[in-house]
Structure 1
Amino acid sequence: MPRCWALSPTAHSRQPRRLSCRKTTRSTAGKIQRLSRPVSASASREFSQLVSSPVSPGGWDPGPPAPPPRPQEMDVPALEMELQMLKSQAGPAEQSFLFSREEVSALRLKIEELAQERSRLEEDKKLLEAQLERLTLQGDFDQSRTKVLHLSLNPASVARQRFREDWQQLQEECKHLRELVRALEAGGPVPADLEAAAGLPSSKEVAELKRQVESAELKNQRLKEVFQTKIQEFRKACYALTGYQVDITTEGQFRLTSMYAERKADCLVFKAAGPSGTKMQLLETEFSRTVPELIELHLLRQDSIPAFLSALTLDLFSRQTVA
C-alpha cells in the first residue's frame, strides 16, 4: 500500500524559512573562502618583500608603506559575524525540522492504524454480506424492501379450518362412543339415541350380519378345498402327459423333475423373464451341466424349450431302457 505523507501547517510554514537560512549560510561560507584566498596570497607577498628588501645603514628600512587594505579584506570580520548570526538562526530551524520529523512519524503510524482498521472493516463487510445472502436463501427478507402478499383464500388457512372441523367431529364421536361403552359394560340395553349417534346397527342387523359372515367363510373354505383338489388333479395330469413334475420354488422360479430321472436331485430350474413372464430362462444346475449337447442344439440354436424337454425325456428314457 503506498504511504501517504502529511505535514502539519506549522511544518509547511517552517520549511521555507529553513531553506532560506540554508541558502544564506552556503552563500556566506562561499564568500569567506573566496576572501581567505586573496588575503593569504597578499600576506605571503608582503612577507617575501620584507625578507628580500636591503637594510639601510641607519637602521631598518620598513620600505614603502603598505597599500591600504582592499574592501574585500575589510569585509572578512563582518562576514564572519554574519555567518555566526546565521548559524544561531539555523539552530531553531533545525530543531523545528526535528519536530516536523516526529510529527511525520506520528502521522505515518496513524496512517498504518487507519489502513489496518480499513482492512478489518472490509472483512466485516464481507462477512455481513455473506450472512445476508444466506438469510435471503433461507427465506428471510428485509421488511423495509420486501412486501409479503397474503392470499385471500390461503390453502394453509383452509387446511387448518378443515383440521379444526374434523377434530371437533372426532371429539363428538369419541364422546358418544364412551357413553356407548359405559352402557355396554353395564349390561343393559343400548339407548336408541346412542346407537343412532354412533351409527351402530340394531341387534337384528348384527345377527343377520354374523350369519352372512359365517356363510361366506364356509363358502370360502369349500372353495379352497375344491381349488386344492383341482390343483392336485392338474399337476398329476401334467406329470402324466409331459413326464415332468412342476414345483414353484420361489417367486418366478419353477423346478422340473422328470419321471425318468435317475436321482431325485436331477432337476431343471427355469426362471420367468419378460414383462408378462412368458419367456423362460434355464438356470445352471448340477444336472444341467450333464447335458450340454442338448442345451447347445435345442436352446441356443433352435430356441425351443419344448424340444429340449422332449429330447431330454427321450434321452433319460433310453438310458433306463438300456439299463
Structure 2
Amino acid sequence: MMLRTPPPKKARSEAGGSSTPTGDQLVIYEDSPLPAPLQTASHDHSDQHLCTYQCRQMVKSDVLDALSKAEKQAQGYQTMLQTLNQNFTQADEERKQFRDKFLYSEQELAAAKGREKVLQEQLLMEMNNSQERYTKALQSCHDLEVKLQSEMNLRTKAESSVATAEEKAKLLEEKLSQLSGSVERERNRLNNDIAHLGKEAKLSVSRIGADLERMQCRAQSAETESDLLRSQLEDLKQKFDECLHEKTEVYKKLSSFTSEAASPSDNNVLFKTLQEELKRCEAEVREARKLKSQQLDAELLKVKLLEEKSRRERAESELSKLPELQISFDKLENELCSWKSLLNNIPGVYCPDDVVMKFSALQKEVLDSTMKIGEASTRFNQLEAALDATQLGKQNAETEAALAKEKFEALKSDVKRIEAMLALVTEEKEQLKAVVSERRKSNSDGSVSATTDGTLAQSFESSLAKKENYLKELEKELSQLKDVNNRQRDEIEHLNDKLVSEARRMKSLERDSDRLRSEISLLESKLGHGDFSAANTRVLRMVNTLGVENEAKQTIEALQAELQKTKERLQAVEELKSQSGDAGKLVDSHITGKIAQLKEQIATLEKREERYKTVFADRISVFRRACCELFGYKIVMDEHQRPNGIPVTRFTLQSIYAQSDDEKLEFDYESGNTSILDNQYTSQGEIAKQIEIFIRKFNSIPAFTANLTMESFNRRTLY
C-alpha cells in the first residue's frame, strides 16, 4: 500500500552515503538536519532533484485524490459492467427462448405438412386401389362373358361332332358288315385249301418224325461217347495219382540209398537218372505252384478291384446328390421370391393376413360365376359322355377289324407255306417221273425184261399211295395244331389280363414301399439318441460279397446256354441232312467234321464248367471259413420262392460260442430288405428284448449280432 504519512527521518551517512541514481529514474532524497548552505555547497550538482516537504505533501495529496477518484470511477465502472452483464445474460436467455419457440413452431409446421402429404398419398392410394378393383371386376366380368361364349361355341361344335361321329359310326358298321362277309368267304375258301393241303403236310410230318428218331439215336451215341471219354479221364487221373505215389516211393528209396555205401556203377546210373527225373518233377511242381499262386493273386486283385469300384460308385452317387440338393435349395428360394412378388402384386394386400380376406372375397365371386357356368358344364358333360360312348364303339370296331386283318394275314401265310410245300411235292413228283422215263429209256435200249418195269411201276405207285396217306395224316395234325393255337391264344389273352392286374398290383406295392421307406427315413431321423452319422457309426461288411457267387452262376448259365445252342445246331444240321436227301450224302463228310469240332467244344466247355465249379466251391468254402473266424457266425444260405413267385434268400446264423444247436438266428433277404424270423431261440426274454431294441427300434442287425457274440463269449469264458 501507498503510505499517506511521511516516513521517519534517517541519519545520513558520511561522505555522501546516498545511493546513486541509476539511469534517468527520478530519486527524492530525505532532508538532512544540516544547514542549507552546507548542503548547497556540498551538493551543487543535484539541486534540480530536491524539493521541499510541502511540495511533496501537495504532490501526495494530488496523487491520492486522483487515486481515490480513479478507484471510485473503477468501482462505478465495475457496477456498470455487472449491470450490463446481467442485462446481457437476460437478453441472451430471452433470445434462446425466442429461438426455441421459433424452432418448435417450424417443427410443428413441417409435421403438419408431412401429415398433410401422408393423408394425400393415402387418399391417392385408396383412389388408385378402388379404380384397379373396379377395372379388375370389369375385366373378370368380360372374361366370364367370353368363357360363356366359348363354351356355347364348344357346345355347338360338340353337337356337330356328335352328328358326324354318328354318321361315321354308321359307315363303319356298314364297312364292318361288308368285311365280315368277305372274311367269312375267304375263311371258307382257306379252310378248303387247308383241308386239301393237310394231307401233304401229314406226309412231311411223318418224315420229320423219322428224322427226329434218327437224331435221337445219334444224340444217345454222342452221350455214350462222352461217358466213355469221362471214364477214360478218370482212369488217367488214377494213373497220374499212382505215378505220383511211385515217385514218392522212389524218392524214399533214393534217400535210403544215399545213406548206404557206394553201390556199383548200375546203381549210380540209376541214381542219376532218378535224380534228373526228380529235378524235372520238382520244376514242374514249382511251375504248378507259381501258376496256382498267380491265379490266387489274380482272384484277390479282382476282388479288390470290385471293392474299389463299389467304393467309387458310392462316392459318385453321394457327389451326384450335391447338385440335386443345390437345385432344390434354389427352387425353394425361387418359390419364396415368387410368393413375395405375388403378395406385392396383389392389390389391397399389405400383409399375409390380408390374403385370406382377399381370397374369401374372390371365392365368393368365383362361386357366383361357377353357379352360372354349372348349368352349361352339365350339358357339355352329357355331350362328352355321348361322344366317349361313340368313340369307344369306334375303337371296338377298329380293334375287331384289326383282329380280322391279322387272322386274314395268318391264313395267307399258312396258304403260302402250304403252296410252297405243294411246289416241293410237285418237284419231287416231276423228278420221280423223270427218273422213271430215264429208266424206261434205258430198259428199252438195253435188254431188261418187262417184269422189271412192272415191278418199278408198282413200287412207285406204292410210294405215291404212302405219300397220300402221309398227306392225310398231315391234314389231321394241322387241324389239331389250329385247335391248339386257338387254345393258346385264349390262354395268352387270359395271361395278358393277369399280367395287367399284376402290374397294377406291383405299382401299388411299389408306391406302398416308397411310402414306407420315406416313413422309415423320417423315423430314423427322429431317433432320440441322434448318434447316427458316418463318423461314429460302424457297419459290418463282408470282404467277399455275393457278387462272386453271382458271377460263377452267370458263367455256368452261359456255358449251359452254349451247350444248348450247340445241340440245337446239331439238330438243325441233322434236319438239313434229312431234308436234302441225296445231296446230304455228298455233304456228310463236311458235316461230320463240324460235328466232331462241336463235340470237342462241348468237351472243353464241360471241362471248363467242372473247373469253374471246383474253383467256386473252394472259394465259397474259404469265404465261409473266413466269415466264421472274423465275425463269429456260421452262415448257411438257402433260396426258396413264396406262393406269389417272389424269390427269397434265407440266411441261418449260428454263433461259434453257442452252447446248443438250437441257438440259431434266421433272416429273410428279399429285394434289399432283411427281416428276422421268429423261432424258439428268438422268443426268449433277453433275446426278444435285444431284438426290440437293436432291430425294431434302431434298425441295426450288426449291433444285435455283435452284442449277442459278446454275451455268449462272456458266458463261455467268464462264468
TM-score in terms of structure 2 length: 0.21
Q: Which has the higher contact order (CA 8 A, sep 6+)?
A: 2
TM-score in terms of structure 1 length: 0.44
Higher helix share: 2
